Structure 1
Amino acid sequence: MKPLAYRMRPKNIDDVVGQQHLVGPGKIIRRMVEAKLLSSMILYGPPGTGKTSIASAIAGSTKYAFRKMNAATDSKKKLEQVVEEAKFSGTVILLLDEIHRLTKPKQDFLLPHLEDGHIILIGATTENPYISINPAIRSRTQIFEVHPLNEDDIIQAINRAITDKDDGLGELPLQINDDAMHQLAIATHGDLRSTLNALELAAKSTPKNSEGNIVLTLEIIEECMQRKALVQDKDGDAHYNVISALQKSIRGSDVDAALHYLARLIEAEDLPSISRRLITIAYEDIGLANLPAATRTVLAIQAAEKIGFPEARIPLADTVIELCLSPKSNSGISAIDAALSDIRAGNYGDIPDYLKDAHYSGAKELGHGIDYKYPHDYPHDWVKQQYLPNKLKSKQYYHPKQNGRYEESLGKQYHRLKNAQNS
């Protein structure tokens, strides 16, 4: 029997879980489907987030033939067979997994068939396509990022799976405890495939109780996922509370508290949450007071991801200790949030004409680029010149702090330039 995750793949665009920025009402892929104007695309994002599901949903909604290949393992001959089918039937949607590993002979064969529309290519990759995919393919496709599913998305998919009697587990007398459902929803960090695989294993390996029901508890889900849950609080928010406590302990420079909350996350083997949060902390809370700490945090996260647990605890602990004891500054996040606040409130003015693009014919007639002073033509590569719109010319977003030598030096330079500009 095919796995539950395979059986529950969406049959049309309305069945897609999550990714509403692509398939929601009025969004780009839904527009393509509804207008029957499909174009080749590349979907990139983490495993289990719906790349294959979107491709099968597009095919199901349009009634085109749907074929799936792997760029790394399938031969050029198989690709030739798909193209021959497309020529005979009119159009074939081809999902090409691991498209970043497409060889040049296969690519050269495929390109003309993308041009004439016989093949609508949907490439899937976990790699950044702007770096990993050949420009010839990239220029003939639209690139869409697929995001990890959130907790509500995962719960929606679980409920659909346990009630679907045709493809899901609806024929089983399943009951799932609240804490077990919460663990299913958060433990795979948005990987729906892994969640459904664990759910199916739990459902089919758990005997019925005396009342004839299959009751899935937290302990059963932990065993089937091989991931421990954090100790749950009464509201089921322990996961988020621990992450919040970790950041606030680092922000408050309490090493022992931060290590305690880090240990909770390590015990749950929640490396993705640890990684995201520590990088955020490094830039949000330490920031310009000790910018090299942010670089070292990124390197430590990369090391932790390469070596995995249990050894990953070592670079993570070192990083948490350094971030706790580092001087702190939130001037960067405060500055950009203040600037965004003005933009979102409509508080912006016209860009001065001399700052506008002048690299096209007719720019001079519009007065663009005229009287611009090129700083490198002046002593010390600086010249007094207004850069903000007139409406905001006296605005100050960045307010330097003096909690570390690096930002202290930046602050002195900032005030020196401000004074020169206003003199």
Structure 2
Amino acid sequence: MNLKPLAFRMRPKTIEEIIGQKHLVGEGKIINRMVKAKQLSSMILYGPPGIGKTSIASAIAGSTRFAFRTLNAVTNNKKDMEIVAAEAKMSGKVILLLDEVHRLDKAKQDFLLPFLENGMIVLIGATTSNPFHAINPAIRSRCQIFELERLSVEDMKEALLRAIKDSERGLGKQQIIVEEDALTHFASSSNGDVRSALNALELAVTSTEVKEDGIVSIDLQTAEECLQKKSFSHDKGGDAHYDVLSAFQKSIRGSDVNAALHYLGRLIEAGDLPSISRRLLVIAYEDIGLANPQAGPRALAAIETAERIGFPEARIPLANTVIELCLSPKSNSAYLALDAAIADLRKGIIGEVPKHLKDAHYIGAKELGRGVEYLYPHDYEGGWVKQQYLPDPLKNKIYYEPKKTGKFEQALASIYDKLK
């Protein structure tokens, strides 16, 4: 009896066996070409768990017949790497799959770099973290970076059926019938994680009683018991987290209520109320702004309510706020105006504060001309009088460009035009 897990046994031995990732391993694609030409270069494979990073590495090794070793950047030490290096010196080349490559410390990195330079070690780094954020530039600059795509439901079904039929490495020596809705559940509820789907399938098979005719029958109920909750990939500190937050804000900015609620749901499922709260407040002022000034205070009230009552009820005020922000008129005129003013400051376009605006609350100020010609607006009809406020180099500068997307800012624009 093979005690290794099904997911381990079903790892592809050649690139032709890899499921999905056709943009990398399909005919004529980059990894496929590298393997066929036997001209391998070090690479970093980046993507969520269970979608084939280790599989691609082992398949490359199987296709090229080079020695293949697997290490972990955290749990394996420098001595383990020295053993791999010694093997590379003897054989001429070793493919090293280094899991969690983003956790590689300086001592291990410094040891590996010369072997990457001379090609004796072909590094295949695997990581779930964005390599442009998480991996040391010294390693990153010596590697090709390939992003793996999440597998489709059809890809997942292909992997499951292959495991069911394969009599050498899979479950093919048994008579297994998986009902279509059960197969779909395994494929769709594992969120593109082949390892999770195969583990659930194996559990279903090993825990189901064999019928008198020798058949193991897997129905939907069994599938649901073995894969009870949809695998939801959302690491609060990871790259996917920021992708969801970005999509959340852009969906609200684009007034797509349904997309915004979808991403809100993902953040709620991750239990990430702090990120939701912060992002909603940013959106209320960055994207809604002067087009609906009450959106900010109302968003804050909803967030305070959500924080007070907690999940699951917190989803109710959050949903109200997201819908309001989606359907509110949008304006970014206020912060664009401020950014334009700051940009001038950073360019050195500043100038002296006009003398009539300078502080005049001290003895001798008048003799220096401070505040002497200042006109007090409240002394004039309508509370306004024309006078210069900007420094001379900027006196004709226009920063604020109002948008006409909401009644409030339209009213502000009308006043602004008159004052100009």
Determine the structure 1 residue equivalent to 2:322: 323
Determine the structure 1 residue equivalent to 2:122: 120
* Superposed CA offset, 1:359-395 (max 9, x none): xxxxxxxxxxxxxxxxx9995379xxxxxxxxxxxxx
- Are positions 1:37 and 2:39 aligned together? yes
Cα distance change, pair 16–315 in 1 and its aligned pair in 2 (3 A): farther
Q: Which letter maps to 2:321?
A: E
Cα distance change, pair 93–194 in 1 and its aligned pair in 2 (3 A): same
In structure 2, C-alpha distance between the alignment counterparts of 1:9 and 1:380, rounded to whole Å: 65
- Are positions 1:130 and 2:132 aligned together? yes
Are the equivalent residues in 2 in contact too, given 1:175–1:214 (CA < 8 A)?
yes
Cα distance change, pair 108–302 in 1 and its aligned pair in 2 (3 A): farther
Cα distance change, pair 379–153 in 1 and its aligned pair in 2 (3 A): farther
- Are positions 1:287 and 2:304 aligned together? no
* Superposed CA offset, 1:173-210 (max 9, x none): 11111111111011111011000000001011101234
- Are positions 1:191 and 2:220 aligned together? no
Q: Which runs of 5+ in 1 are unaligned?
A: 228-267, 333-375, 383-399, 417-423
Larger radius of gyration: 2
In structure 2, C-alpha distance between the alignment counterparts of 1:183 and 1:281, rounded to whole Å: 27
- Alignment length, in residue pairs? 304
* Superposed CA offset, 1:22-56 (max 9, x none): 11111111111111111000011111010000000
Determine the structure 2 residue equivalent to 1:155: 157
SS at match of 2:71: strand
Cα distance change, pair 215–289 in 1 and its aligned pair in 2 (3 A): closer
1:83 is aligned, of 85, 92, 98, to: 85
- The alpha carbon displacement at 1:66 in A equals 0.3
- The alpha carbon displacement at 1:278 in A equals 8.9
- The alpha carbon displacement at 1:303 in A equals 6.0
* Superposed CA offset, 1:249-288 (max 9, x none): xxxxxxxxxxxxxxxxxxx67676xx98897565335536
Output aligned runs, 1:78-227, within 5 Å: 78-227=80-229
In structure 2, C-alpha distance between the alignment counterparts of 1:151 and 1:203, rounded to whole Å: 21
Q: Which runs of 5+ in 2 are unaligned?
A: 235-240, 275-309, 332-392
Q: Which letter maps to 1:323?
A: V
Kindly report the root-mean-square deviation, in angstroms, between the aligned alpha carbons of the 2 structures: 3.7
- The alpha carbon displacement at 1:297 in A equals 5.1
2:60 is aligned, of 45, 58, 67, to: 58
Q: Which letter maps to 1:320?
A: A
Are the equivalent residues in 1 in contact too, given 2:10–2:163 (CA < 8 A)?
yes
2:397 is aligned, of 362, 380, 386, to: 380
TM-score by length of 1: 0.64
* Identical columns (%): 48
- Are positions 1:304 and 2:321 aligned together? no
Cα distance change, pair 38–213 in 1 and its aligned pair in 2 (3 A): same
* Superposed CA offset, 1:211-266 (max 9, x none): 43111111111111122xxxxxxxxxxxxxxxxxxxxxxxxxxxxxxxxxxxxxxx
In structure 2, C-alpha distance between the alignment counterparts of 1:8 and 1:158, rounded to whole Å: 10
SS at match of 2:98: strand
In structure 2, C-alpha distance between the alignment counterparts of 1:3 and 1:128, rounded to whole Å: 29
TM-score by length of 2: 0.64
